Amino acid sequence: MIRNIPDRYYRVLTYQSVDRVPDIEFGWWPQTIRRWLKEGMKLEMTPEQTNNGDSPIVAGHFQLEDLEGHVFWPHGGMNPTFEEKVLEQHAESVVIQMAGGIVAEKYLADSDQSSIPRFISFPVKSPDDWQNIKQRYNPDDPARQPADSVVAAARAAQARGDLMTASCPGFYWILRNWMGTENLSMAFYDYPDMVHDMVEHFSDLLVRSLRRFPDDILADEIRFDEDLAYRNGPLLSPAQFREFLQPGYHKVMAEAKRRGCEIGMVDSDGDPKAIIPSWLEEGVNTMAPVEVAAGSDGPAWRKQFGKQVRLIGHVDKRALIAGGSAIDKELERLKPLLADGGFIPHVDHRVPPDVSYSNYCRYLEKKRKLIGR
């Protein structure tokens, strides 16, 4: 059910007429923000504020547009969570137990080394561990009922004609959070029954959490956080995806489609091309951030899958590092995709600290001319 609403994001991704594509970006590394402040970005920011890679202060400075619409979150999280506590303290890092039960070493927020933590252990190592964690994801937990104010806000947004978006973890994402990449990779072979039960349980939880919202509340879009690929391809085989994860997508997308869903967006870094056919079967039709440096090739995907696949991102960050004519050449490369529709350009992940402030400003200026802003 394609709705006639003014949201540019929705109209572009459903191939409706639109004045231009939205001017959005994916965010920045904290180190990037700190570099730009030294290079003359005219903002007053506290050290704590510079640690936010999604900083609304920086977004406002660049006059970026929000992803218009109303986002509601089906409560699929852990309850109760683990106690967050510091296990070890070092000069520039701490070893902590996080709320999800993961033990990791994290660099202190103001360290220039701050990035992805060094994971040490995960809460699920065997089927016995899974039974303990499973109890923390009880679909009947009353805490999963959305508050009346949340439902009222969703109804008001829908009445205004806003894009209605449900957002949740993807299945590889949540299993990796429970087990870690290496342990999960082995579990497909060592504990297949457990992995099937994990996906069945979590998909049931998400569907039931969605159904806690009244039936008249739409879900024009559902977003899945996944990150199931790297530069050499997916972290699991297409056959494993079809056997273990696709049934979960099928259940959740069926509920989303019942609520009018037209956009199934998956956020996966790397090159997930081998999984795209399975996603498309379930209505997951929008890929982001389409990382060029990892081998993702939007024009090739569009040629293979047609307009069924929609694309967000796909601006090679390496062109912004090089600067000058490299930026012009990169944006020129994207013109056919823009003309084809179903494509919203932005940098193909968070902007790294290799990118100078002047280069980023040049990129935004050139991109805005391209999209007609």
The structure tokens listed for 248 are 């979960």
pTM of the model: 0.94
**Inter-axis angle of helices 325-333 and 357-371, to 10 degrees?**
30
Instruction: Report yes or no: 348 and 292 within 8 Å, Cβ to Cβ.
Output: yes
Does 111 score more than 70 pLDDT?
A: no
Evaluate if residue 109 carries a pLDDT over 70.
Answer: no
Q: What is the mean pLDDT of residues 2-12?
A: 96
Task: Indicate if the pLDDT at residue 114 is higher than 90.
Answer: no
**Mean of the per-residue pLDDT values of the chain:** 95
The class that CATH gives domain 8-77+123-371 is alpha beta
Residue 73 burial (CB count, 10 A): 13
| Domain coordinates in residue numbering, the chain | 8-77+123-371, 83-122
> What's the N-to-C CA distance of the chain in angstroms?
29
The predicted-structure confidence for 69-90, as pLDDT tens digits, reads as follows: 899 888 889 999 999 999 999 9
Closest to 50 in 3D by CA, of 61, 60, 35: 35
**Beta-strand relationship, 164-169 and 70-72:** parallel
Q: How confident is the model at residue 115 (pLDDT cuts 50, 70, 90)?
A: low
Instruction: Say what the pLDDT of residue 143 is.
Output: 93
Residue range 324-344: mean pLDDT, rounded: 97
pLDDT of residue 110: 53
Strand partners, 345: 313
Task: State the chain's maximal CA–CA distance in angstroms.
Answer: 57
Q: HSE on the CB side for 152, CA within 13 Å?
A: 3
Report residue 154: phi and psi, to 5°: -65, -45
159: pLDDT confidence band, cut at 50, 70 and 90? Answer: very high
Mean pLDDT of 121-134: 97
